[in-house]
Amino acid sequence: MLTDGAPAAGTRRIWAVGALCRAVADALEARFNPVAVRGEISGFSRAASGHCYFALKDAQGQVRCAMFRRSASLLEFVPRDGELVEVTGRLGVYEPRGDLQLVVESMRRAGQGALFEQFLRLKAKLEAEGLFDGARKRDLPLLPKGIGIVTSLGAAALHDVVTCLRRRAPHVPVVLAPSSVQGGQAAGELVASLQSLYRLAERGTIDVILLVRGGGSIEDLWAFNDEQLARTIVASPVPLVSGVGHETDFTIADFCADLRAPTPTAAAELAAQPLETWLSALGMMHERLQEAALRRLDRASQRLDQAAAHLGRPSSRTAQQHLRIERQAQRLRFALAARTRRAQDELRAARERLRTGTTARLERAGQRCERLEMRLQLLDPRLVLQRGYALLTDAASGHPVTSAAQAHAGQHVRAALADGEVDLRVLPPGAQNRP
C-alpha cells in the first residue's frame, strides 16, 4: 500500500507520485523562492486565455516557464524568441506532468540574445550591400511553365504546398529539390538544392521557385539566417518566393527573396493562379471574339446592301462585292484561327470549345452572304431581257432611250437583247419599213 505518511520502523519509505511532487515543490519553495533567472526566450507562445508559455535557456540548460495573464498584461514589450531577459518568479513542480516549472511574475529585457544579435548584425550588413533592395525584386509569372520547391521530404509544408498546387494549377509541372530545413547541415543543403533548381531554370524547365518550411523557434529556423544562403537566393535566375515559418516569423531569407509569403501554403497560392480564373478569362475572350466577328460581318453586309441600292449594272459589281466579302471572311477566319491558337497554348482545356464556336459562326456568316448574293442576282436586268424586253440606247451617245419623246426620225439606236445587240433606225411616224 502506497503512503505519504512516516515509514514504519526498519522499512524504506515508499512515496506516492503526487506526494513526491509536492515534497519536491516544497523543497524548491524553501530553498530557492523567490528566484531571479537570466536566459534566452525560446518557443514563446500566447494562449487564447492570455497566459504565456515559453522556455528560458542558455548553453548549459533550459527551464519551462509559464506567465499567467495578470502578469503578462503588465509587460512593457512583446517577448520574442532569442531575446535575453531577466525574470523573477517562483520555482515549482507542475504536478500533472512532474515537470520543473518557473511561474514568472515579472520580466524585463537583459539584451537581445546571442542568436537575435547575430540576426540583426547580418541583416544590417546585407541591407547595406543592397541585397534587400526592392528595385531588384521581380514579379512572379502569371502562367508559370514549371515550379521548383525546396523543402524537407518529411515536412508538413511539402504536403501543404503540393496539395495547394494540385488544386489550383494541376497542369503546371512541379520539381522538388529536397533538403534539410533544420540543424547544422541544413544551410549547406539548402544552397545545394537551390543551385540544382537554378540549372533547370536556365534551361527553361521552371520559372519560379518556392523555398518553404513550417514554423518553429529561432533555433529551428536558424538555417534560413545563413549568409551564404542569402547570397544564393539573391543570385536566383528566376523569381523566388520565401514561405518560411508562420506569419510572425521573419528570416534573412525572407528579406532576400523576390516575395515573402506568410506561410508555405500562401507561397503556393502566390505562385499559381487558379485554373478557373484563366478559364473564365478565356471564356470572356471567346465572347469578345465572337462579338467582333459578328460586328464585322454586319458592317460588310450593310456595305453590300448600300452598294446594291446604287448599282447601274449590278452583275459585275455583285461579283466584286462578293469577292470582297469572301476576302473579308477569309481574313476573319485566319484572324480568329490565329487568336484561337494562342488561346489554346495558354489553356488547352478550352481548345475545342473555342474552335467549334468560331467555325459555326463563320459558316452561318458564309450562308448569309450566299443568300444576299442570290438576292442581288435576282436584280440582274438580263433576267428581264430574257422575257422578251429590250434596252434601247442612243447609238451615238450611249444614253438610254426610255420614252418615245426622246426618239426622232432617222435616229440610230441600239437594242440590247438577251443574247446580243441589234442596231436600228427610227422611222418617221406613219412610215412603213421598206427593205
Q: Which domain holds residue 196?
A: 137-271
265 and 300 share a domain?
no
Residue 410 domain-assigned?
yes
127 vs 121: CA distance, rounded Å = 10
Question: Is the domain of 353 the same as that of 417?
Answer: no
Pairing of strands 147-151, 208-213: parallel
- The CA-atom distances, in angstroms, between 406 and each of 282, 381, 391, 399, 413 are 67, 22, 14, 10, 11
Are 292 and 348 in a shared domain?
A: yes
Query: Does 3 map to a domain?
Result: no
The 3-class SS string of 192-218 reads HHHHHHHHHHHCCCCCEEEEEECCCCC
One domain, residues 265 and 281:
no
Q: 305 and 194, same structural domain?
A: no
Asked if residue 255 and residue 145 are part of one domain, the reply reads yes
- The domain boundary, picked from 240, 271, 302, lies at 271
* Amino acid 67: pLDDT: 93
In this model, does residue 184 exceed pLDDT 90?
Answer: no
Mean pLDDT of the residues in the chain: 83
Domain at 235, CATH number? 3.40.50.2300
Name beta bridge partners: 394.
413
Residues 369 and 331 in one domain: yes
Amino acid at 389: Y
**Which residue, 214, 246, 271, sits at the end of a domain?**
271
Has residue 10 been placed in a domain? no
* Per-residue pLDDT at 104: 92
Predicted pLDDT at 2:
44
pLDDT band at 252 (very low <50, low <70, confident <90, very high): very high
Reported confidence tier of residue 8, pLDDT bands at 50, 70, 90: low
β-sheet bridge partners, residue 176: 149
**Domain-embedded: residue 177:** yes
- What pLDDT score does 162 carry? 92
- The three cell numbers of residue 84 are 535575453
| Mean pLDDT, range 356-366, rounded to an integer | 78
Q: Is 212 among the domain residues?
A: yes
Co-location of 266 and 147 in the same domain: yes
Residue 8 is assigned to a structural domain of this protein = no
pTM: 0.47
The number of domains in the chain is: 4
Check whether residue 411 and residue 292 sit in a common domain.
no
Is residue 351 predicted with pLDDT exceeding 70?
no
**Cell numbers linked to 134:** 526592392
- Which among 243, 271, 299 is the end of a domain? 271
In contact, 361 and 329? CB cutoff 8 Å: no
Same domain, 249 and 193: yes
Residues 280 and 251 grouped into a single domain: no
SS3 category, 128: helix
For residue 200, the model assigns a pLDDT of: 94
Mean per-residue pLDDT, 174-199 = 94
pLDDT band of 176, cuts 50, 70, 90: very high
Whether residues 174 and 280 fall in one domain: no
Average the pLDDT over 371-390 and give the result.
Answer: 77
Average pLDDT score over residue span 214-234: 90
Tell me: pLDDT of 347 over 80.
no
CA angle 422, 424, 428 (to 5 degrees): 160
Sign of CA dihedral 130, 135, 140, 145: negative
**pLDDT value for 1:** 39
Mean pLDDT along residues 145-154: 93
